[in-house]
Homo-oligomer: A and B are copies of this chain.
Amino acid sequence: LGVPGVPELKPLTRYDAMRLGPGWSHSCHAMLYAPNPGMLFGRIPLRYAVLMQMRFDGLLGFPGGFVDRRYWSLEDEGPHRVVAHFYARQLTLEELHTIEISAVHSRDHGMEVMGMVRVPLYTQKDRMGGLPNFLANSFVGTAKFQLLFALKILNMVPEEKLAEAVAATLRPKKGAIDHGGGAAG
C-alpha cells in the first residue's frame, strides 16, 4: 500500500493460489460497495457505501468464510497457512440496502454475525471522525489490509486522505473520556 506502518499484502494470482497444495486453507471474502451520492450533514460526501460486519468474535470483517471447514470449526484457532481470496463487487445503493435488510432478517443474525455496518470513507474536520476512527476498531485477520487495499486500488478514497487516516490510527489512542461528566438518570 505504501502507507507507513502497514505491511504490504503479498498478492498472488488466482492461478498460483490454486497450485499451493493441500497444506493451505482458502478463505474467500467480498467487499460489497455502492456509489452513494448522499451528503452527511448536507456537506460531507459519503462517496460509497461499503459493507463490513461485526462478527461473533467482536471483530470487524468482510462477509465470507473458509471454503473448506470440514476439519476444523470457527471456534478453533483455524489453519495457519491461509490464502485470503478477496473480491470486490460494485452494486447499486438500492441493491446494497436490500442486502442490509436481508442480513438483519437472516438466520445467522445475532449469531455468527452481530450486525452489518457501513464504513465511513470521509474524514471529519477534527481529523479523526470517520475513516480514521473506524480504522482504530478491531479487525479480523487481513480484513483491515484488504479494506485499505480495495479503497486504494478502486480509488474510493483520495490517496493522501487514506494515508492520513492510517497514520492517525498509529498514534496512541486518546483516553475514552474526553469530557468531564457523570452518569445520571
Chain A residues with a Cβ under 8 A of chain B: 7, 9-14, 16-17, 28, 36, 38, 40-41, 43, 46, 49, 54, 56-60, 73-75, 77-87, 97, 100-101, 104-105, 109-112, 114-120, 124-126, 128-139, 141-142, 144-146, 149, 173, 176-185
Give A100 to B106 CA distance when docked, in angstroms.
12
Question: Contacts A114-B120, A117-B117 hold; do A13 and B179 have CB atoms under 8 A apart?
Answer: no
Number of copies: 2
Does B84 contact A130, Cβ atoms closer than 8 Å? no
Q: Knowing A38-B111, A133-B59 touch, does A182 contact B124 (C-beta < 8 A)?
A: no
* Contacts A7-B177, A75-B124 given; does A16 touch B184 at CB 8 Å: yes
- Are B182's CB and A58's CB within 8 A? no
Pairs across A and B, CB under 8 Å, 6 listed: A11-B183, A28-B185, A54-B115, A58-B137, A104-B104, A142-B176
Chain B nearest CB, measured from A10 CB (Å): 4
- Complex contacts, A181 vs chain B, CB 8 Å: 10, 81-84, 141-142
Beyond A36-B110, A46-B111, A56-B129, 10 extra complex contacts between A and B, CB < 8 Å: A7-B177, A11-B182, A14-B185, A41-B74, A54-B118, A57-B133, A58-B133, A114-B119, A114-B120, A134-B138
